[in-house]
Amino acid sequence: MFYLGIDFGGGSSKATLIDEKGRVLATASSEYETIYGKDGLATQKPDDWYKAAVANVRAILVKGFDPEQIECLCFDAATHTAVLLDENDEVVADSIYWTDTRSVKQKNYLLENYKDYIFEKTKHLPDTIWTLPELMYFRDEQPELYKKVAKVLFAKDYVRNRFAPSFVTDFIEAQGSMMFDFDKREWDEKLLGLASLKKSQMPKIAFPLDVVGYVCEKAAKESGLSTKTKVLVGSTDTAMEIFASGGVKDGDLAIKLATAGRIYMVSNKSFPDKNVINYSHLDGVHYYPGSGTKSCASSLRWFRDTFGGDFASFTEEAGKVPLGSDGLFFHPYLRGELTPYANPSLRGSFFGVSSSHTKAHFVRSIFEGVSFSMLDCLLYLKGQGLPLPEKAAVLGGATSSPVWMQILSDVLDMELIVSKTSDSSFGSALCSAIASGVFSSFEDAIGKSREIVKTVVPNKENHLRYQKLFDKYQEISKFTVDFYKDE
């Protein structure tokens, strides 16, 4: 039998098919657009996710796999991304993606009037990344459309609902909405009211590995799947990623180098703090508190799209530039920043530019600047009392760059471990297998399927040099924060 996981990320969807031993048999991916616009707009079209999922399934099946042998399917996606449906289950408008920064006014209103209540209930402070201020913005700016909203789902739930009709979400996804009581695991009427919503408009809460049903006939016809394939509730991409990278027990640390950068640690308890993002883990017992930088690999993607080039040549060119990029600093605040500044108005910068700098210098400075930003995140977690280990699993597209990986290891002074497969679609596929009884637990699944392919050890001499550069990096950060404080 086979087990399928499908992820929806910032610009593409990926599907992974595994066997009963957790071995990857096939993968497929399809891109879709994130629409960017003025004033920080970032939206996606929900129908694009469904089309991408269908395309991915068909791309896998065309390789000769029998759909009758796919026992279970699980979806995951980025948190916060609400899908607004009318009474006919039709999408009311494009979904606001979590990198959208237009809800500053609503965020400030919540901070001024409900700061303590929100923090008590959700363990987070309002920011533009959360669903609550996003929905308030949409209500305030497009009230006629907002009046049509009958139901609220989230990205992976919307797609799952089209594969297996089900008005449900998991408690981790709900924690990312800022309308949910973190400890009681139920929708909070007062927080919902701030977005002019009622409990009846919100999905039921379930565990990620709960079965909601089977693939419906329409989705089976369009995707090629069997109507005998079970469909799970699913969860968020970060929960799946930290699980897939080996994060299953207290003290496991994972670093994500993808569209955004994240550092998160599996813990027996949450760590409520204004700059720490708290979520429950898949087992419902553990948590994975973490910190984040908004523009990680997306900084390099922006550079590529703006100035040309490709990732392979970037790595080769950056490797020829000396440590420190000959005095060129990059701050990756392209769309504001999370830890430790929590300011959506911050903007990025190249500092120290001279006529001797080449394109390769700019690329390496991006590698180093993002790594410094990750160090900012790590030091903040350490300052909050999280007992950080000396090793960390690393996942994300940036792991393919040996130059960037070595820079990150040197900057953090940490041994980095890369698994053969650790993306969220693999985590979802493993969940499909666990729910089907192939593995007895999350720990069992990782123990039998994880394959470590690379370990990067920090260069102590380079670390000392980077420490001095990091001091300068932080001095520039302080100026940037002060410059944008009134935005």
Burial of 273 (0-12, 13-18, 19+ CB in 10 A): buried
Q: Please determine, for residue 260, whether its predicted confidence score (pLDDT) is greater than 90.
A: no
Mean pLDDT, the chain, rounded, equals: 95
Return all residues near 52 (Cβ < 8 A) that are at least 6 apart.
8, 12, 13, 30, 31, 32
> What is the C-alpha separation between 280 and 286, in angstroms, rounded?
6
Dihedral of the alpha carbons of 234, 237, 242, 248, in degrees to the nearest 10 = -10
* Closest alpha carbon to 11 in 298, 261, 299, 337: 298
> What is the C-alpha separation between 185 and 11, in angstroms, rounded?
30
Residue linked to tokens 């994300």: 396
Q: Please determine, for residue 487, whether its predicted confidence score (pLDDT) is greater than 80.
A: no
Where do the DSSP E strands lie in 111-175?
Answer: 151-154, 168-170
11 in Cβ contact with 117 (< 8 Å): no
431 in Cβ contact with 437 (< 8 Å): no
Amino acid at 31: E
The secondary structure of residue 97, as a DSSP letter, is P
> What is the C-alpha separation between 4 and 7, in angstroms, rounded?
10
- Between 118 and 395, the more confident residue is 118
**Average pLDDT of span 371-376:** 96
pLDDT tens-place string over residues 203-226: 999 999 999 999 999 999 999 999
**pLDDT attached to residue 338:** 83
Give phi and psi for 168, each to the nearest 5: -150, 155
**pLDDT attached to residue 378:** 92
131 in Cβ contact with 177 (< 8 Å): yes
**pLDDT attached to residue 486:** 61
3-state class (DSSP) for residue 445: helix
Confidence of residue 2 (pLDDT cuts 50, 70, 90): very high
**pLDDT attached to residue 259:** 81
Confidence of residue 385 (pLDDT cuts 50, 70, 90): confident
Confidence of residue 472 (pLDDT cuts 50, 70, 90): very high
3-state class (DSSP) for residue 21: coil
**Average pLDDT of span 367-372:** 97
Confidence of residue 341 (pLDDT cuts 50, 70, 90): confident
**pLDDT attached to residue 10:** 82
* Closest alpha carbon to 4 in 16, 14, 12: 16
* Closest alpha carbon to 80 in 208, 198, 150, 177: 177
**pLDDT attached to residue 208:** 98
Pairing of strands 235-236, 253-257: unpaired
336 in Cβ contact with 325 (< 8 Å): no
> What is the C-alpha separation between 487 and 484, in angstroms, rounded?
5
> What is the C-alpha separation between 123 and 278, in angstroms, rounded?
7
> What is the C-alpha separation between 481 and 487, in angstroms, rounded?
10
From the CA atom positions of the chain, what is the Rg in Å? Answer: 22
* Closest alpha carbon to 389 in 191, 251, 205: 251
pLDDT tens-place string over residues 266-311: 999 998 988 888 999 999 999 999 888 889 989 999 999 999 999 8
263 in Cβ contact with 255 (< 8 Å): yes
